Structure 1
Amino acid sequence: MPPQLLPASAAAFAPRASSVNVVLGSKVEPWLTQTLKRINRVKRPLNSVPQHQRCLTETLSSPNAIWTLASLMLPKWPDAQLRKDSNPLVEAIQNYDFIYIEAYIVHVDMVLRNEVAFKLTPDTIEALIEHHKEVSCANAKAGSYDWPEKEQHAKKLHDEFVQAINKYVFRTHVSALEGLEEEGVGELLCGRSEEVKNSIMTLLNKPLLPPPPKIVDVIRQPPLLPSSPVGAAIWSQTSHSPGVPAPVDSKRVLPSSPAVTSTSVDSNTPIWSNIPLHEIELQSSAPPFNQPYSSAGLFYSSPMVTSPIPALPLPSMLASHCGVNMGYGGFGWDRYQEYATTM
């Protein structure tokens, strides 16, 4: 694609140049010759390319050479302040006004791109900036929710429009010069005004977008490993197999009996200190009843199958048989002398 060549007068905030930059080819189109003859009151010779170029440059460089690109019917106030009326015509007259988009030609190229470039006049730029500030920004703020930096974003939106409307240059085919009239004024033909209207309305109605939500990084705590010092106490505890019951101190186990319904075990008080001697003897004479021991109450787990623990002999049983008549292997201590003599 050929480079887009524009003069310095087409830059943003640049004043209008005293002369228009016109570049013609080696051959002049017949329609351009007819247009120049039509708009000139004084007959001028148009027999060569330099004559066409000189005539077109002088015509477009006139201070009165202002083109009307389009006309916009825009509201006078924001949507919340528009007046209501039963007659639509009266309502339109009260609430809307026309802004004419006027421009002047800054560049004509009939060699590389076959185009003509228009730049908006200062009066048109000022009118559009005022409308954007008073109407478009107000509607944009009303159409979005509130956030802390909303006013700053609205001001930034207006500043961006000021820059964009000053940089705006409408470029179209050189055949648009067929709408040229006397003293260099003109009007766009063949539907080119719709292109200007759509592009400027896009700039005016740019929405006020809130900032995107901030992404907060969630810091997750790494899982505790067996080597972690915090979980050292957990891993250092003795774990028992689910199928094997925990070891039980034999001194803390008391066989059940019909005479004893419940027993409270204290870790500091001997279990035999609260039971009278005659009750112990009665319990020892009764047939033993073994109750299976289960450690399910000490752990939050499923019930476990445990084997019964054999009853241990009570001290009363040992006390009742201890004496001089107690023997080992069928021999008593009262016959000690007999065995001693024999040996």
Structure 2
Amino acid sequence: MPPQLLPASAAAFAPRASSVNVVLGNKVEPWLTQTLKRINRIKRPLNSVPQHQRCLTETLSSPNAIWTLASLMLPKAPESELRQDSNPLIEAIFNYQLIHLEAYIVHVDMVLRNEVAYKLTPDTIEALIEYHKDIHCVNAKANTYDWSEKETQCKKLHEDFIQAINKFVFRTHVSALEGLEEDGAGELLSGKSEEVKTNVMGLIKPLLPPPPRIVDVVRQPPLLPSSPVNPSLWSQPTTTASLPAPVEAWRVLPSSPSVSASSADSNASLWASIGMSEAQLPSPTPSYSQPFSTAGFYYGTPMVTAPLPHLPLPSMLAPQCGVSVGYNSFGWDRYQEYATTI
């Protein structure tokens, strides 16, 4: 693709040149010859390419050679200040204005790209900048939530629009010169005005607030056996050795009927001398738990309990006896004799 060559007058903030850059080919199209003859009040010879080029350059370089590219209907005031009326015609009259996008030709190329380049006039640029600052930016700030850099962002949005609208150059095919009128003025034909509207309105960017910050949700890690977050869930009650209940002294009977009364009395007195406080277990202490460890499936050491006093059993106090020992002259070894008698 050949390079897009434009004169210095097409640059941003550049003033309008005194002469338009026109480049024609070796052969002039018949429609261009008819157009130049139609707009010239004074009949000029158009028999060669240089004559066509001179006539077209002088016509487009005239101060009155202003083209109307399109017309935009824009609000006169911010949305909060617009007039409300039941009649839509009255609302349109009081609330909207018509801005004509006027431009002048800076370049005509009928050799490489067959295009015409237009640049907006300073008055049109100033009207669009004023609309963007006083209406668009005000509406954008009112329709977005507040954040710390809102004013700075809105100011940058307006500065970017100023740069863009001053750099704006509209290019179209050279056939647009068929809409040329007297004194070099003209109007775009073949629906090109809609394309200009789309391009200009595309330069008016919305005010985009920053996206909401993603807040990291702190999630509680899953409870594992090795996690000490809630040890009560994994704690096991410590087991204590079960001890027999204390035996009352009157329930202790001699293991043999031959035991003398003195031995029984002394044995009974021995058991009676042991109070309940000595044989009673201490009150259990609150159970404690240790965290479960994956190193080994072991629980904590059980609590140390108070040992029972070493008590002699009745069989240890009575003399050794066998089955021949009787109870009140009844011997177990004479069971068969008594059974026969009975």
* TM-score, normalised with respect to structure 1: 0.68
* Pairwise CA distance, 1:90: 2.3
* Pairwise CA distance, 1:165: 0.6
Counterpart contact for 2:84–2:91, Cα < 8 Å: yes
* Pairwise CA distance, 1:152: 1.4
What SS does the corresponding residue of 2:203 show, helix, strand or coil?
helix
- 1:175 paired to 2:175: yes
| Aligned counterparts of 2:138 and 2:275: Cα–Cα separation in 1 | 102
How has the CA–CA distance of structure 1 residues 13 and 277 changed in structure 2, closer, same or farther, with 3 Å as cutoff? Answer: farther
What SS does the corresponding residue of 1:201 show, helix, strand or coil?
helix
Structure 1 counterpart of 2:244, which letter?
A: P
What SS does the corresponding residue of 1:315 show, helix, strand or coil?
coil
How has the CA–CA distance of structure 1 residues 142 and 130 changed in structure 2, closer, same or farther, with 3 Å as cutoff? Answer: same
Residue 310 of structure 2: which of 297, 308, 315 is its match? 315
> Which structure has the larger Rg over C-alpha atoms?
2
* Pairwise CA distance, 1:314: 6.3
* Pairwise CA distance, 1:17: 1.1
The match for 1:267 is none
Residue 278 of structure 1: which of 268, 272, 276 is its match? 272
How has the CA–CA distance of structure 1 residues 281 and 150 changed in structure 2, closer, same or farther, with 3 Å as cutoff? Answer: closer
Query: What are the within-5 Å matches in structure 2 for residues 147-186 of structure 1?
Result: 147-186=147-186
The match for 1:254 is 243
The match for 1:207 is 206
How has the CA–CA distance of structure 1 residues 10 and 313 changed in structure 2, closer, same or farther, with 3 Å as cutoff? Answer: closer
Counterpart contact for 1:281–1:316, Cα < 8 Å: no
How has the CA–CA distance of structure 1 residues 35 and 298 changed in structure 2, closer, same or farther, with 3 Å as cutoff? Answer: closer
What SS does the corresponding residue of 1:18 show, helix, strand or coil?
coil
* Pairwise CA distance, 1:153: 1.3
* Pairwise CA distance, 1:215: 4.8
RMSD: 3.9
The match for 2:102 is 102
What SS does the corresponding residue of 2:74 show, helix, strand or coil?
strand
> 1:225-278 deviations in whole A, cap 9, x for unaligned?
xxxxx99xx9xxxx99x9xx97866xxx4213697xxxxxxxxxxxxxxxx942
Structure 2 counterpart of 1:107, which letter?
A: H
- 1:8 paired to 2:2: no
- 1:125 paired to 2:154: no
| Aligned counterparts of 1:90 and 1:66: Cα–Cα separation in 2 | 32
Moved more, 140-149 or 122-131: 140-149
| Aligned counterparts of 1:313 and 1:86: Cα–Cα separation in 2 | 103
The match for 1:141 is 141
Identity percentage of aligned residues:
70
| Aligned counterparts of 1:33 and 1:176: Cα–Cα separation in 2 | 14
- Name stretches of at least 5 consecutive residues in structure 1 with no aligned partner: 224-229, 260-275, 283-295, 302-311, 327-343
* TM-score, normalised with respect to structure 2: 0.68
> 1:186-209 deviations in whole A, cap 9, x for unaligned?
1111111111122222323x2110
| Aligned counterparts of 1:323 and 1:73: Cα–Cα separation in 2 | 124
Counterpart contact for 2:73–2:97, Cα < 8 Å: yes
What SS does the corresponding residue of 1:118 show, helix, strand or coil?
strand
| Aligned counterparts of 2:201 and 2:308: Cα–Cα separation in 1 | 105
| Aligned counterparts of 2:162 and 2:88: Cα–Cα separation in 1 | 33
